[in-house]
Amino acid sequence: MIVAIELLAGLAVAGAYSAQLVRWLRVLQREHYVPAALPRFLGRWTSPQVGSASTPARRNLRRPVTLSQVLLVVLLVGLVVRNPVILVLDSILYGLFCPVGLSIRGRTGALRWTRRATLIAVVASVVALLIASLGALTPQRWLGAVIVVWAVPVLLDVSTRVLTPYENRRASEFVDRAAQRLARISPTVVGITGSYGKTSTKNHLAQLLDGAVVASPRSFNNRAGLSRAINENLSDGTSVFIAEMGTYGPGEIRSMCDWCPPTIAVVTAIGPVHLERMKTLDVIDAAKFEITERATTVIVNADDVRLREWVKRLGDSGKRVVTAGSTFRDAAIRVVPDGSQWRVDYDGVTVTNCPPIVGVQPTNLACAIAVAVELGTDVGEVVGRIARVTSVANRANVVTSVSGVAVIDDTFNANPASAAAALDLLSNLDVTGRRVLVTPGMVELGSDQYGQNLALARRAAALGFELVVVGRTNALALAAGYGSAPRRFDTRDDAVAWIRASLVDGDAVLYLNDLPDNYP
């Protein structure tokens, strides 16, 4: 009887470990196998919301004591009294059900058992089995098994770090192949980076150019994505390759430029995106500057104060510098909203006027025009192609639903500048009814995150918008900024269902950002 009970307990503990492994491996995969992401997300899911809850609007969004916290206390009690029954039952409950809300299957994306994910899981499980086996040889023979259930994020973190050199060597094979292909075909490489605006600028540039032009797809903007874009899409005769380059830290863009050196570099903005990872704007500034090191021509968004400071520095180093923008008067190429038209200026002379393009930021279009001209296309031809330019999918797209509700899809934008532009867009829509903002807020803004979400909600309230908060990640900040209790849903699907049931012809809704379900 005792043997059967212990066997069942062992199977239950193994199931609890497996549930934890799948949960946290899915988070790791969604975060591009960056091991440092795991402790951040563990904190998000198991810690109470921070900040004061001094108003009714904020008190009703306070996060209650979590099941994870209760079970942690029970674990500590079990350790103190050395009761194996408490420890085993506690670890089973934790492994199977915690953190509450972090799905095993995934609502916005299931775990994909890729080669890399499988290898990390195997290494972590071998270590877990070793710890459990060693623990079985001690007087507290269940302690090792209990530890591994609670320590899955740590095991995955360590396994990922240990395997990183191997993964880098493996990735180098694809990078080497991409570098050879790039050298053989020899297109002009345009490298685009920026805290935001790089994907839109890349797409606008491709729309303005004629000929054999290849742009890296979607957001394939890291080492693996860029090498894949070259290996799969670059063909003989390609004249221009537009490479979007992102970064999570210093050295990453420089490394990409070593094997994919841009002739023309474009920098769209310096802002607090990924501030959680890079800590300060100065670090972000330096990381983005790396794209200029091997370029002969650099286009900078002169509306950005930090980028204006680059102009002299780049010029003194022998680079050709072209300024583009919307609001900065001295920019060489400007796209300026002027009443019901956009005015396009080139070297201080207006070359055309065109209708505004919904969902397109004038500054991003100006940067794209500047590159097209630098590639040798006559400015008259370039501006004649502006009619081809469209907004990028999920970035300020405006459609009218069958019910007559105006819908702004801005689910791929998640930075303060684009959020402000999206609020302006909602405010200026020609509708007569309700205007509703649906958002989980903005993330990865480091110490600025609370303040930026506070400001977002305050502006929404000042504009008379209804606010719908999705999830708990930024719920306190959004509620505090809004000033009265916003409507709240746990998932975007629930919010969409409410919108469809509540809004009618003449109303408008803005979907701003959409966090995957690895966020609470």
CB neighbour list of residue 27: distance below 8 Å, 6 or more residues apart: 37, 38, 41, 102, 518
Mean pLDDT, rounded, for 170-195: 94
Q: Nearest Cα to 498, choosing from 468, 461, 466, 460?
A: 468
Report the alpha-carbon distance of residue 299 to residue 324 in Å, rounded. Answer: 7
Q: Residue 57: pLDDT above 80?
A: no
- For residue 108, give both structure tokens: 């916005």
Percent of residues, the chain, with pLDDT higher than 70: 96
Assess whether pLDDT exceeds 90 at residue 299.
yes
How much is the pLDDT for 58?
43
Return the domain boundaries, the chain.
2-165, 186-388, 397-512
CATH no. of 186-388:
3.40.1190.10
| Whether pLDDT at 444 is above 80 | yes
According to DSSP, the residues that pair with 244 across neighbouring strands are 192
Average pLDDT over residues 229-243: 93
pTM for the predicted model, two decimal places: 0.84
Peptide bond into 99 cis (omega under 30): yes
Residue 511: pLDDT band (50, 70, 90) is very high
252-259 vs 152-185: helix crossing angle, rounded to 10: 30
Mean pLDDT over residues 389-395, rounded? 81
Please check the confidence at residue 7 and state whether its pLDDT lies above 90. Answer: no
Q: List all residues 6 or more positions away from 250 whose beta carbon is below 8 Å from its beta carbon.
A: 278, 283, 286, 287, 290
Q: What is the pLDDT of residue 518?
A: 86
For domain 397-512, give the CATH superfamily.
Mur ligase, C-terminal domain (3.90.190.20)
What does the pLDDT look like over 64-73, one tens digit per residue?
677 888 888 8
User: What is the per-residue pLDDT for 76?
Assistant: 85
CA distance to 42, 68, 421, 478, per residue, from 475 (Å): 18, 20, 21, 5
Pull the structure tokens for residue 146.
């209990």
Residues 520, 409: Cα–Cα separation, whole Å: 22
Rg of the chain over Cα atoms, rounded to whole angstroms, equals: 26
Q: Which residues contact 257 (CB under 8 A, 6 or more apart)?
A: 191, 245, 290, 291, 293, 294
Q: If you search the block for the tokens 């709240």, which residue do you land on?
A: 488
Name beta bridge partners: 343: 336, 353
